Amino acid sequence: MRTLITGGAGFIGSHLCDYFIEKGHEVLCIDNLLTGSPDNISHLIGNNRFRFIKHNVSDYIYVDGRIDNVLHFASPASPFDYLNYPIQTLKVGSLGTLNSLGLAKAKGARFLLASTSETYGDPQVHPQREDYWGHVNPVGPRGVYDEAKRFAEAMTMAYHRYHNMDTKIVRIFNTYGPKMRIKDGRALPNFMCQAIRGEDITVYGNGSQTRSFCFISDLVEGIYRLLISGENNPVNIGNPEEITILQLAEMILSLTNSKSKIVFKELPVDDPKVRQPDISKAMSLLHWEPRVSRDIGLQKTLKYFQDTLNKNK
Active site residues: 145
DSSP string over 42-100: GGGTT-TTEEEEE--TTS-----S--SEEEE--S--SHHHHHHSHHHHHHHHHHHHHHH
How far apart (Å, rounded) are the C-alpha atoms in residues 82 and 10? 14
User: What sign results for the dihedral spanned by CA atoms 148, 150, 151, 155?
Assistant: positive
Give the helix, strand, coil percentages of the chain, each rounded to 5: 40, 20, 40
| DSSP character at residue 171 | E
How far apart (Å, rounded) are the C-alpha atoms in residues 84 and 71? 25
Contacts of 290 (CB under 8 A, 6+ apart): 214, 215, 218, 238, 239
